[in-house]
Amino acid sequence: MKEAVDTENGTTQVKTLVLSKLLELSESMLHGDYSRRMVTEFDDELITKIADNLNRFADKVQLNGIGGDFSQEQTIDKFIEVISSFANLDFKQKLPISENGTIMDAISTGIIFSGTNWNKVRLRKKNWRSREIA
């Protein structure tokens, strides 16, 4: 858990670094970049909720496309490209996964996991067939 506030002389002050991170995230969203996220485990519940709400909003925009194209089209194109490569038995391509644990990361993880399993099944069948022939 990260410290977000200093309590001195009975007053609570939010650390400048935390405010700067919140500002960076909100400015990114303002400029249409909904790919960024922020750690949401702070020692102050209010700051944790603000960061979590911004992250959730970014997830919602990326998934639902509210208000226009915010790199969602590029993300979906990449998903389609990787899934298509799996269909062509090319399992070399991967999807990016951030350390933020977003909904897009969960979808990427599922696609990669499926591709890995499809490749394992393909290799097992190939080995089984080669033993049958021999």
Helix (H, G, I), strand (E, B) or coil at 97: coil
How far, in Å, CA of 48 to CA of 27, rounded? 18
Full-model pTM: 0.45
Structure tokens at 28: 């990114």
Q: CB under 8 Å to 44, separation ≥6 — which residues? A: 4, 5, 12, 14
Domain residue spans of the chain: 1-68, 71-134
CA angle 2, 95, 86 (to 5 degrees): 150
- Fill in the amino acid letter for 93: Q
Q: What is the pLDDT of residues 41-94, one digit of tens each?
A: 777 788 888 888 888 888 877 766 544 444 666 777 888 888 898 888 888 888
